[in-house]
Amino acid sequence: MAVNSVNAIRKELLRRGFHNPRMAEIESHLVGSGSKACKYLIFMGLYPLPDPAVHTDPGSAVIAPFAAVHYYRRCTKTLQNLVSELRHETGIPKRDIRIFSNSRLPERSIAAALGMGWVGRNGLLMNREYGSSFVLAGMLIVLDPPNETLLQGTGELPRILSLKAPPDPHRECGKCSACVMACPTGAISTTGGVSLERCLQYLSTSTEDLPEFALAAWGRRLYGCQECQNNCPVNINRNHREPPDIPAGEEYPIHELLTRFALHPASALKEIFPGTALEAGWIPRESILRNLLIAAGNSKDSSLEPLIHPFLKDPHPIVTHAASFALYQISVK
Ligand code: SF4
Ligand code: SF4
């Protein structure tokens, strides 16, 4: 690809709200394409997120700030527009470009290998300037030969991990263990890494009953957890503060949501939470309803009882179990 095309992409990434753009050329053996001789170019950027709001209403359920707006979709749409507009300048056919954000690619490891930060003990990409308050997004471009078919499917993508992982991904964390201490379920190991089955973020979308330890720590969560990020000194002391966005919503009154779920039993989440990451098709409706009922129980608000009762007959066992839990929680003073 011509140098002026690379510069044009970099400039446009910056102009469209991405920060710290990085790129690397990747040889075929790093992608794992066997004997085929081909080259890829990878571009990545950080899309900074605004500071979270303070949630004080005990009658509301909360969506984690990073999901209050569908930032992943915002990033991919921005990149799609960029690709369309730069088609003339770069001469690259659309089929040779794969756009990604929150994809199956090991994005954090690739970003670390590109020098965009390090993978912290909490498993997230950390950066002194931005903390972990950003979304990652980028493009993978087939350079040579053109029309290469490897990007047609997703099967090849995870293999790009072999780019070059840093030897000790957590070394920049030093002796800090603030995220380990802050995690309400003990999901983070002192040696680094997150146990997914103990992580409330991961459990938000599970389709099983929440285990006891998660029920005890759930609070008013509707979707997501970022306690480990909120308590990370790199995040707290970061230099870059993104101006406030207008979020689609972080706090939702529990009684209103229970009413909406009951009145519209077949509604997709995108109708109940428009503009948020809950619009993503892979998030199960019953998981969010389960989370809401647990938050309702934890609110201890007895006026919610008549709104909870109808869910004892829901077809999804995780919802009926959560409704029973909620009624029990409210009954215990
Ligand atoms: S997201 Fe929450 S539960 Fe998961 S590791 Fe971080 S603090 Fe722990
Ligand atoms: S809280 Fe400390 S250990 Fe955890 S990711 Fe941040 S800097 Fe690393």
Interacting residues of 324 by C-beta distance below 8 A, sequence separation 6+: 312
Q: What is the mean pLDDT of residues 261-280?
A: 90
Q: What is the SS3 assignment for 258? A: helix
How many structural domains comprise the chain?
A: 2
Sign of CA dihedral 272, 250, 332, 286: positive
Residue 19 lies in a domain: yes
What pLDDT, on a 0 to 100 scale, did the predictor assign at position 151?
47
Q: Based on the domain organization, do 8 and 94 belong to the same domain? A: yes
**pLDDT greater at residue 85 or residue 31:** 85
CA distance 57 to 296: 13
Percentages of the chain per state (helix, strand, coil), in multiples of 5: 45, 15, 40
What pLDDT, on a 0 to 100 scale, did the predictor assign at position 115?
86
Q: Based on the domain organization, do 152 and 202 belong to the same domain? A: no
Q: End of a domain among 99, 134, 166?
A: 166
Q: What is the mean pLDDT of residues 148-177?
A: 62
Q: Based on the domain organization, do 327 and 283 belong to the same domain? A: yes
Q: Based on the domain organization, do 125 and 265 belong to the same domain? A: no
Residue 239 lies in a domain: no
Q: Residues 199-216, buried b or exposed e (16+ Cβ, 10 A)?
A: bbbbbbbbeeebeeebee
Q: Based on the domain organization, do 124 and 194 belong to the same domain? A: no
Q: Based on the domain organization, do 155 and 283 belong to the same domain? A: no
Q: Based on the domain organization, do 7 and 75 belong to the same domain? A: yes
Q: What is the mean pLDDT of residues 250-279?
A: 92
Helices (H), 219-284: 227-230, 233-236, 254-263, 269-272
> Residue 182 Cα, ligand 1 centroid: separation in angstroms?
8
Q: End of a domain among 117, 139, 166?
A: 166
What pLDDT, on a 0 to 100 scale, did the predictor assign at position 150?
46
**pLDDT greater at residue 233 or residue 141:** 233
Percent share of the chain, pLDDT over 70: 85
Q: What is the mean pLDDT of residues 19-24?
A: 90
Residue 234 lies in a domain: no
Q: Based on the domain organization, do 197 and 286 belong to the same domain? A: yes
Closest atom of ligand 2 to CA, residue 170? 8
Residue 33 has pLDDT above 60, yes or no: no
Closest atom of ligand 2 to CA, residue 235? 6
Residue 160 lies in a domain: yes
Residue (of 294, 302, 305, 292) closest to 333 by Cα position:
302
Residue 208 has pLDDT above 80, yes or no: yes
Q: Based on the domain organization, do 11 and 142 belong to the same domain? A: yes
Angle value at C-alpha 82, between 81 and 87, nearest 5 degrees: 105
CA distance 114 to 245: 28
Tokens of 186: 């003990």
The DSSP bridge pattern shows strands 60-63 and 19-27 to be unpaired
> Residue 187 Cα, ligand 1 centroid: separation in angstroms?
6
Closest atom of ligand 1 to CA, residue 188? 5
Interacting residues of 212 by C-beta distance below 8 A, sequence separation 6+: none
> Residue 184 Cα, ligand 2 centroid: separation in angstroms?
15
Q: What is the SS3 assignment for 122? A: coil
How many CA atoms are closer than 13 Å to the CA of 68, on its beta-carbon side? Answer: 24
Domain containing 217: what range? Answer: 185-224+248-331
CA distance 62 to 224: 8
Residue (of 34, 13, 156, 20) closest to 86 by Cα position:
13
Q: Whose CA is nearest to atom 8 of ligand 1?
A: 183
Q: Whose CA is nearest to atom 4 of ligand 1?
A: 199
Q: Which helix (H) or strand (E) holds 109?
A: helix 107-113
Residue 157 lies in a domain: yes
Q: Based on the domain organization, do 127 and 200 belong to the same domain? A: no
Q: Whose CA is nearest to atom 4 of ligand 2?
A: 179
* Residue 180 CB less than 6 A away from ligand 1: no
* Residue 210 CB less than 6 A away from ligand 2: no
Residue 240 lies in a domain: no
Residue 176 lies in a domain: no
Q: Based on the domain organization, do 85 and 215 belong to the same domain? A: no
Q: Based on the domain organization, do 16 and 99 belong to the same domain? A: yes
Cis upstream peptide for 145 (omega within 30°): yes
Tell me the angle at which helices 285-299 and 254-263 cross, rounded to the nearest 10 degrees. 140
Residue 93 lies in a domain: yes
Predicted TM-score (pTM) of the model is 0.88
Q: Which helix (H) or strand (E) holds 42?
A: strand 39-48
What pLDDT, on a 0 to 100 scale, did the predictor assign at position 159?
45
Q: Whose CA is nearest to atom 6 of ligand 1?
A: 228
